[in-house]
Chains A and B, each alone.
Chain A
Amino acid sequence: MGLWRKIMRTGRVAEPAPARVPGEAPSKAAELAGSVQIRHVDAGSCNGCEVEISSAFGPVYDAERYGARMVASPRHADALLVTGPVTRNMEMALRRAYDAVPEPRLVIALGDCARDCGVFAGAYGVAGAVSDVVPVDVEVPGCPPEPEAIVAAVRRLTGR
């Protein structure tokens, strides 16, 4: 009962949906028509981006309301959400994860490290940016990107 009262008292915490940020959507996203399943791949991130991702999918920003959902297997996914510079140990794993996604498939490079290796550029354990390993469709800048930016990127894919 305590939980019920708390639910009633708290009510809705999701912020009202902001207006869609204009920006061209990748052409493949049109086929998905409002439903994007996302498989998250941590290719060597410091976990800063992960904190923001869980916040983007949490109650306040609620990325799920735009038709996006995190899934457990790349087979179920339409998009890979890749964070971090691609380390040597994760390079093959990322390729295989990409290969496991059925067409049409998209890749979101999330955070500065994923876009251009960030502060890790040139480090001995880093194989390169995400775009060096798999084709990237959407990039989200920031270190880490704010949840609003993540939600906006997701909305470009779902089109909602």
Chain B
Amino acid sequence: MNLVGTLFVASLSCCALAAAAALTAPAKARLWLAGLCTAAAGACGAAAGVAALAGQSWSAWLPGLLPLAGARLALDPLSGAFVVVTGTVAVCAAIHGIGYCRHGLDGRVFQAVLPVFVASMLLVPAAASVSTFLLAWELMAVSSLLLVLAEHRRNTSVRRAGLWYAVMTHLGLVAILVGLVAFAAGAGGESFAQLREAGLPPAVKTVVFLTTLAGFASKAGIVPLHVWLPRAHPEAPSHVSALMSAAMVNMGAYGVVRVGLDLLHGGPAWWWLLVLAAGAVSALYGILQAAVSSDLKRLLGYSTTENLGLVMVGVGAAGFLAATGIPVLATLALAAALLHVVNHAAFKTTLFLSAGSVLYATGVRDLDALGGLRDRMPYTTALFAAGALCASALPPGNAFVSEWLLLQSLIHAVPGSGVAGAVTMPLAVGMIALSAGLAVATFVKAFGVGFLARPRSAEAGRAEEVPPVMLGGTALAVACCVALAVAPTVVVPALGRAVAVVFPGRDVVSGELTLRLAGVSGVVSPLLIAVALLVSVMAVLVLVRVAATRRARRAARLWDCGAGPMSARMEYTATSFAEPLQRVFDNVLAPESDVDVTPMKESAYLVERVRFHARVPDRIEHRLYDPLIAAAAAVGRRARVLATGSVHRYLGYGFWALAGALVVLVVLW
């Protein structure tokens, strides 16, 4: 067993150790033991992934582990990229969780399921056969479901979220199962190596691609299969949200790349235009919902839909460009998508963990009721600020680099990719740009309204800084963000090896300080931009020191127009901040509001109380899912006549069904 294999097995063993520690250790030591073991598992996993990205590959066949086919594991650079992400996120989340779980989440089962979840997410990209993959996938779904439901006693909305998640994730599993089983049946073998060699008729390929795409898209939170995501992510404990949002949803992207680009070797252009369109719509819809959301964790959940949408745009563009015969740009687009996966994981971990810290300190995740955390939780505020800067895709943040790469791959596609490209690419660029603009507004809102100014509720006013271990976990994620932001020239070539699994033989970028695209013209230097910003801010500071008269800074009241102290109720809330955008996108969002006026008894003209209630429902859920659920419920009610409780009748059903099946067999064969 080589280095990758050793590290990977060590990582899985650490997970097992963590689960065992959680189950057996006394309550006092449980959090630390389980947390540190999980963190060690993450670290080993990340190291294994790095080694795999460096070019070492590993595969194993364990015939005894699963009945019939045995378990097959393999780590190539593409799997490695996803294993690195999962491992690193697991380290941050596990360390943060040591502090976060002190309030009621220190139970045996919860602590034991978390490392199982991590292990399952390490196994999914490492799986190298259909049965292993599906098993790991289901393990991931079930363990995450248990984690989402952890706080179901405290809050009834957790149960609803869990129900949505369970149904959606299992429908997704069914879709993937059908697709992969059909694939394996056609290929005559179930290991990925056999699938790769298989020559299937195009119609079967299309069926396989579309069914698996549906399943993977639902895991990645792609519109319109995203509905579970903004429910489950806010209700899960925050470090679990970080794991789900930064690591688990990536598996959807991994699945599309692995099955669509690797096992099926790409396909017709329309497949990928479909992926691209779904991605672009998700990016826009997700960030639009995030922009008008006032629940911090729901906002972050919708932002995940946005970012995975951007990843899908990259994947779709890669497939499309490969199909139209521009491999240079296909390589670039896929590298951009993978880099965005990594970047998104880094900043979303930061954001969810800091949101968890806020929740821990205040018990509130409603932005309207937060504020004033800058003085009360200075470190958490600074960490969230760093994450928010990255999430807004502005330099010197890390997401700027990946969105830049993505935009470059799209705009260079126009002359070469024909009319389909000329129509699609500008629209995609426009949608990405709009979602980038809205992301800026969203994260200015999340940070500015949630953390700055004065507290708008007693809970926020009482907030205190969280324990160092929680800050440590978050700070680790910020460190990853910083590293990714200043050193993309190191990261992108490494990801280029993952891309080479699918599109072999091409470099993506070159250069040490500046990022130079290979094959097309395009240069940017995130490191030098950051340095230039630092230098020029320092220069301005010196200039002001020199030029301005040395008068001491005087503390003064806020300018309140002379009308007395500004109370916290006069501050702009998240809802009011988002109002202009909500008004602009009125037709898309269809916000609901009702005004309830209670008049006084004496006269209808004297008002005793006015209640104003406004909310922005998820319109897709409203329009698409509600009718479906209603229809299913109606069918269920009708079907009740069949089930009367009479055993004779049920035996009769069995008889007729068997007879019918036999008749069908006789007629057809």
Contacts and interface: CB of A to CB of B under 8 A. Distances in A.
A60 to B, nearest CB: 31
B622 interface: no
A103 B562 CA distance: 18
A92 B560 CA distance: 12
B554 A102 contact: yes
Interface stretch (A6-14, A93-101, A109-117, A143-151): A93-101
Contact of B557 (A90, A96, A103): A96
A69 interface: no
Contacts of B606: none
Chain A contact-residue range equals: 10 to 19
A74 B563 contact: no
Interface string B587-619: 000000000000000000000000000000000
Nearest to B563: A93
Contacts of A102: 554
Contacts of A99: 556-557
Contacts of A41: 562
A103 B559 contact: no
A104 B175 CA distance: 73
Most buried by B among A73, A90, A97, A100: A100
Interface string A60-82: 00000000000001110000000
Nearest to B558: A100
A99 B556 CA distance: 7
Chain B contact-residue range equals: 10 to 19
Nearest to A43: B562
A154 B560 CA distance: 26
For the complex, would chain A's binding face be called helix, strand, loop or mixed by DSSP majority?
helix
Interface in B176-222: none
Contacts, number: 23
A96 B551 contact: no
Given A102-B554, A103-B551, A94 B562 contact: yes
B559 A75 contact: yes
B556 A100 contact: yes
Contact of A100 (B559, B563, B564): B559
B553 to A, nearest CB: 10
Contacts of B554: 102-103
A41 B556 CA distance: 19
Contacts of A96: 557, 560, 562
A93 to B, nearest CB: 3
Nearest to B553: A102
Contacts of B557: 96, 99-100
Contacts of B560: 96
A97 B558 CA distance: 10
A74 B559 contact: yes
Nearest to B549: A31
A92 B561 CA distance: 11
Most buried by A among B560, B561, B562: B562
B562 A92 contact: yes
Nearest to B560: A96
Nearest to A97: B562
Interface in B617-655: none
A41 B551 CA distance: 26
Contacts of B559: 73-75, 100
Most buried by A among B551, B556, B563, B564: B556
Contacts of A92: 562, 564
A101 B192 CA distance: 73
A102 B556 CA distance: 9
B533 to A, nearest CB: 27
A94 B563 CA distance: 10
Contact of A93 (B551, B556, B562): B562
B520 to A, nearest CB: 48
A96 B564 CA distance: 9
A41 B561 CA distance: 10
A74 B563 CA distance: 14
Nearest to A91: B562
Most buried by B among A90, A96, A97: A96
Contacts of B564: 92
Nearest to B559: A100
Interface string B559-574: 1111110000000000
Contacts of B563: 93
Contacts of A90: 562
B40 to A, nearest CB: 54
A94 B562 CA distance: 7
A18 B563 CA distance: 40
In order of increasing CB-CB distance, the 6 nearest A-B pairs are A93-B562, A96-B562, A100-B559, A97-B562, A75-B559, A73-B559
Given A100-B557, A103-B554, 7 more contacts: A41-B562, A75-B559, A90-B562, A93-B562, A93-B563, A96-B560, A100-B559
8 contacts: A41-B562, A74-B559, A90-B562, A94-B562, A97-B562, A99-B556, A100-B556, A100-B559
